[in-house]
Amino acid sequence: MTIQADLIITNGRVLTMDRNNPRAEAVALAGDRILAVGTVDQIAALAGADCRIIDAKGATVLPGLIESHLHLFMGGAELAHLQLLGVRGPEALGRAIRDYAATNPDCPVVMGQGCDYDIYGRALTRHDLDAILPDRPVLLLAADHHTGWANTAALEAAGILQGRTLTPGNEIVMGDDGLATGELREFEAKAPVMRLSGEHRITAGIATGAEPEPAPTADDLASDCIPMARGLAHCARHGLTSLVNMDGNIYTLRVLAALRDQGKLTARVRIPFHYRNHRTPADLEIASRMSAEFNDDWLSSGFVKFFMDGVVDSGTAVMINDYPDTPGWRGDPLHSPESFAAAATEADRRGLQIAVHAIGDGAVRRVIDGYAAARAVNGPRDARHRIEHIELIDRSDIPRMADLGIIASIQPCHVPGALDFPMQPTLDKIGKARWDDAYLCRSLHEAGVPLVFASDWPVADASPLRGIQAALDRPVFDGARDERIDLHDILAAYTIGGAYAEHTEDRKGMLRQGYLADVVILDADIETTPKDRIGSMRVQKTICGGQIVWDAEAEAA
């Protein structure tokens, strides 16, 4: 019996990302698989009696887009927070905070997202925030989430106004008066204030990597399904059908599993074991248990996430050379060479993939060294270990990445001046002498380093279309090489490249017969749209597992 299609997308500019059959006009889906890819007439012949026909009207049709680095749980929660991206100066900030506080009187902490490091032309202090809202805890987070600024009420309620001893790489900045200034650098420093917000179960996956305490109740889980579902819906509207989360614990998987049971899981999600720097290699047994329990095409684990450093703007990224504005300071790595090599070797021995946040060139080198140490002990395998961000790299380390098969997980929207992030203070913190080594893409690609692209949402806009525009139209820094790559290479980094990084290129990332039925339909032809307008394009429909999970027409009706 011939299988018939139950959904057909026709009259499209189909970019299959399949080198053997790169273009088509129509796609047929049957159940949760792609039945066929071909011409309009070929695919029309496969229609079943109740087949739904979608006319793409000449717009681009792509494999479901893969978001290779985001923070889903946190992003879903933050959609309800005060949004500060683009807010500048005391008057605008004061108005935004007071308005939000007035309309959210029951929030235990007034939480703001996307605060510029230079919002006042300098770093904020608790006194600045006290002048705006002294009687309720306030915490503003930088767009990169690595730094927060709290008022006195928040610091007092969290018990850190007098400071607290933290592990390396985390800092409660102290003033000359012996009290905290309000600036909190890295996750351990922010965690006491974050806990006041009541979102500690949501942020546990990134703050500590441990399970929430106290143990969540059934009511807690039901409550936490709401922001997670909100995050999934946000991703669906942007054409994202596969999500690689970059923080996590077992509880995160439990929340997603609950949504799957309710029929509300609208994307395929991977969740790591988050190995914070208080862990030991023996703790990787938890990662192995997570991987054994969750290992299907909808919910999976199978990898370990590390942080090696912080970010450039706060001076917590680890550099090979001194920061230009701070002689003698190169950042404080979160793992010693020995401890990281031991953990990486054990994770690799267990068959786990490794992904490490490394922004500074010193952090990147330490990660490469650790991966090389793991291979030396365990022998070579198709590990596809990853480095996340790579905002600065010594060019001598690029061939080492290629030789070790390391995936470069890049966020085009993070490049200063490319999208929403300003040029400064980032470029000055790097120093003009190193701009040619910053935010590389083309150089990595040409060296044979596999690329995946992502947003790091909620650090940056989740829209892959805006990310594509950023990759095409990013600035070329003075004296630096042009690091832009072409449209099809960019699309590959959001599709088949993302699948390769997950070891799933045999079933997703392409529109090919037998592959998973994950498809996105845009509202125009991306190949003929001017590059400076691609970010304004919209997703018309997102299909995951053969089901329409986002329909712009239905939403507008």
Q: Give the model confidence (pLDDT) of 95-134 as tens digits.
A: 999 999 999 999 999 999 999 998 999 989 999 999 999 9
Distance CA 290, CA 315 (A): 34
Strands 5-10 and 47-55: parallel
Our CA angle for 433, 306, 495, nearest 5°, is 80
Name the residue ranges covered by the structural domains of the chain: 5-64+514-556, 74-198, 308-455+466-501
pLDDT value of position 167:
86
Distance CA 485, CA 473 (A): 10
Q: Kindly report the pTM of this predicted structure.
A: 0.94
Q: What share of the chain is helix, strand, coil (3-state, %, to 5)?
A: 35, 20, 40
CATH architecture of 308-455+466-501: Alpha-Beta Barrel (3.20)
Q: 452-464, pLDDT tens digit by residue?
A: 999 999 999 999 9
pLDDT value of position 207:
87
Burial of residue 442 (number of CB atoms within 10 Å: 0-12, 13-18, 19+) = middle
Neighbours of 428 (CB within 10 A): 14
pLDDT value of position 404:
98
Q: 283-311, pLDDT tens digit by residue?
A: 999 999 999 999 999 999 999 999 999 99
Q: Which residue has the higher pLDDT, 195 or 138?
A: 138
* Residue linked to tokens 């006042």: 120
What are residue 15's DSSP bridge partners?
23
> Does position 557 have pLDDT exceeding 80, yes or no?
no
Q: HEC string of 488-523?
A: HHHHHHHCHHHHHHCCCCCCCCCCCCCCECCEEEEC
| CATH 2.30.40.10 is right for the domain spanning 5-64+514-556 | yes
What are residue 270's DSSP bridge partners?
244, 300
Distance CA 246, CA 239 (A): 19
> Does position 53 have pLDDT exceeding 70, yes or no?
yes
Least confident of 27-41, 71-85, 196-210: 196-210
**Confidence band of 168 (pLDDT split at 50, 70, 90):** confident
What φ, ψ does residue 41 adopt, rounded to 5°?
-65, -40
| CATH 3.90.700.10 is right for the domain spanning 74-198 | no
Neighbours of 553 (CB within 10 A): 9
Neighbours of 83 (CB within 10 A): 16
> Does position 1 have pLDDT exceeding 80, yes or no?
no
What are residue 113's DSSP bridge partners?
83, 141
Q: Is-contact 222 446, C-beta < 8 A? A: no
N- to C-terminal Cα separation, the chain: 39
Mean pLDDT of the chain: 96
